[in-house]
């Protein structure tokens, strides 16, 4: 992350890391994000300075915690966690829209292990939040915006849900509520306007946690709607106070590229912005790609895991799969120093395809892997969902590049390769200059690598078709390896930023 003595780069957690929820314990900050159809679920990050974040695990890393049916749609699954620390424990409340509804998990260490779920059948809707009153009453607030008292130890709701506040009149989708006791007031922070270009953050306050709530006269307190700001879709925020008394906000946003209407391809990312308080209301500072550095020493930039040689018995926490990850289909123990994937689905079009990937975190990047397909079939993919992906597949002395764009699927290039392992390569290049208003956000070049490192490009494809504006949904690109037939072995995977 580039930085100077006075500024740091936003987003602070780049790539597909939406719906951030933050809490502080002493000098340590923790963030949880949505994961949708990917397993393991709810990535967790740690920081000592709010700027440099390291993934320490995934809260939902066991099948007993996260059940996603194989037919669960992309952009289904796990929505909008809230992470809190109370009474010596970490509490995580989240919605599985593809099965178990609202669930609550606890841990003494945010790196895990987390408990099995406490199911919350009496909590309606999505985007649940937790807050505790001085007398120990736990309030659960949900999108809409409704509220119910909750016994967090049993999951039992105490009384019927009540309506609190529905945000700005005429603004759709009041969601992502977070309730805080700050000074003499309870504050209710929400997102509204939908998670697209009209997204924004609004707030109200009350003398009691269950209202009535008075809206801020300056709502929305943050939005980039109707502007040409390079960060758009700003919303789904959470507040945190630093040890020095200053206040900060984490939120999601996107970085659209190309011409009109603009396409964001790596998903909704986690941004940071400073907050001041004026007359009892929060005033959000300027949100930009270069953020004024917090007024405390920054911690050393943590090492980013660019290359994985699959020498460990377990995969690093940034690796994700689709809906589940059976040990028999994904292992580093069968062939020492290799990742072995056994095929289930026959292609990336299938919801049960065996896939292991990592989020694209840079607008320009390179991904490479050495694959030995043997008698099988598999390769390297750039995935948004089952109907939007580009992939290069090796099989029987050939490689094929395939593009899936909605209902259209075609092989766009093929090439013979010598028997044995082959290096597959994808390069994503953000467009710097627009030729006309229809210029896409980036190009995706796909090919193989010669033994001397020379890149043999087989095709270059327009990246707009792997964007949310084309495909819909709530996720971002994931780059990874897949098996489509038999057992396929990967010696290493290398990911590098090409951003300048």
Q: How many CA atoms lie within 13 A of 499 on its CB side?
A: 10
Instruction: Label the pairing between strands 487-497 and 339-342.
Output: antiparallel
- Burial class (CB within 10 angstroms; exposed 0-12, middle 13-18, buried 19+) of 286: exposed
Sign of CA dihedral 86, 46, 290, 191: negative
Residue that has been written with the tokens 């007398």 in this structure: 135
H/E run at residue 496: strand 487-497
Q: How many CA atoms lie within 13 A of 65 on its CB side?
A: 22
H/E run at residue 471: helix 468-471
Q: Give the pair of three-digit tokens for residue 476.
A: 């971002």
Per the CB < 8 A criterion, the answer to whether 38 and 322 are in contact is: yes
How many CB atoms lie under 10 A from the CB of residue 71?
10
Contacts of 235 (CB under 8 A, 6+ apart): 176, 191, 192, 193, 195, 199, 200, 201, 222, 223, 251, 252, 253
Per the CB < 8 A criterion, the answer to whether 395 and 374 are in contact is: no
3-state secondary structure of 65: coil
Strand partners, 186: 181, 206
3-state helix, strand, coil split of the chain in percent (to 5) is 0, 50, 50
* Among 19, 100, 238, 427, the one annotated catalytic: 19
* Among 61, 129, 175, 469, the one annotated catalytic: 175
Check if 19 is active-site: yes
Check if 28 is active-site: no
Per the CB < 8 A criterion, the answer to whether 377 and 395 are in contact is: yes
d(CA 146, CA 162): 5
Known catalytic residues are 19, 175
């Amino acid at each position: 992350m580039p930085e100077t003595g006075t500024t740091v780069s936003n987003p602070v957690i780049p790539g597909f890391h939406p719906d951030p929820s933050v809490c502080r314990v002493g000098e340590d900050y923790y963030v949880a994000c949505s994961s949708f159809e990917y397993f393991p679920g709810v990535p967790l990050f740690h920081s000592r300075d709010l700027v440099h974040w390291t993934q320490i695990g995934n809260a939902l890393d066991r099948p007993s915690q996260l059940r996603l049916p194989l037919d669960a749609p992309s952009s289904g699954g796990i929505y909008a966690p809230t992470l809190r620390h109370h009474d010596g424990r970490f509490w995580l409340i989240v919605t599985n829209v593809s099965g178990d509804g609202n669930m609550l998990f606890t841990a003494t260490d945010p790196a895990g292990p987390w408990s099995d779920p406490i199911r919350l059948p009496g909590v309606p809707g999505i985007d649940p939040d937790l807050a505790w009153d001085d007398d120990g009453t736990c309030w659960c607030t949900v999108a809409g915006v409704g509220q119910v008292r909750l016994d967090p130890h049993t999951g039992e709701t105490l009384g019927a849900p009540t309506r609190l506040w529905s945000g700005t009149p005429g603004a759709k989708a009041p969601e992502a509520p977070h309730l805080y006791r700050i000074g003499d007031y309870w504050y209710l922070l929400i997102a509204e306007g939908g998670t697209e270009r009209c997204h924004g953050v609004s707030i109200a306050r009350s003398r009691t946690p269950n209202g009535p709530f008075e809206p801020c006269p300056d709502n929305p307190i943050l939005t980039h709607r109707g502007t040409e700001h390079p960060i758009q879709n700003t919303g789904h925020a959470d507040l945190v106070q630093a040890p020095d008394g200053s206040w900060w906000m984490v939120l999601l946003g996107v970085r659209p590229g190309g011409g009109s209407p603009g396409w964001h391809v790596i998903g909704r990312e986690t941004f940071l912005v400073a907050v001041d308080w004026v007359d009892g209301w929060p005033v959000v500072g300027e949100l930009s790609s270069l953020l004024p550095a917090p007024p405390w020493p920054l911690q050393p930039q943590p090492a980013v895991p660019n290359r994985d040689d699959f020498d460990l018995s377990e995969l690093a926490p940034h690796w994700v799969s689709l809906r589940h990850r059976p040990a028999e289909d994904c292992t580093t123990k069968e062939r020492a120093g290799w990742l072995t994937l056994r095929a289930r689905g026959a292609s990336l079009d299938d919801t049960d395809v065996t896939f292991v990937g990592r989020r694209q975190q840079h607008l320009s990047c390179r991904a490479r892997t050495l694959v030995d397909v043997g008698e099988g079939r598999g390769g390297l993919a750039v995935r948004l969902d089952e109907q939007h992906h580009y992939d290069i597949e090796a099989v029987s002395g050939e490689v094929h590049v395939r593009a899936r764009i909605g209902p259209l699927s075609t092989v766009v290039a093929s090439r013979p390769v010598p028997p044995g392992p082959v290096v597959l390569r994808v390069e994503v290049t953000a467009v710097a200059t627009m030729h006309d208003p229809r210029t896409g956000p980036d190009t995706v070049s796909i090919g193989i690598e010669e033994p001397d490192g020379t890149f043999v490009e087989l095709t270059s494809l327009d990246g707009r078709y792997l964007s949310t504006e084309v495909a819909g949904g709530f996720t971002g690109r994931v780059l990874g390896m897949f098996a489509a037939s038999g057992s396929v072995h990967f010696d290493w995977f290398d990911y590098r930023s090409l951003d300048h």
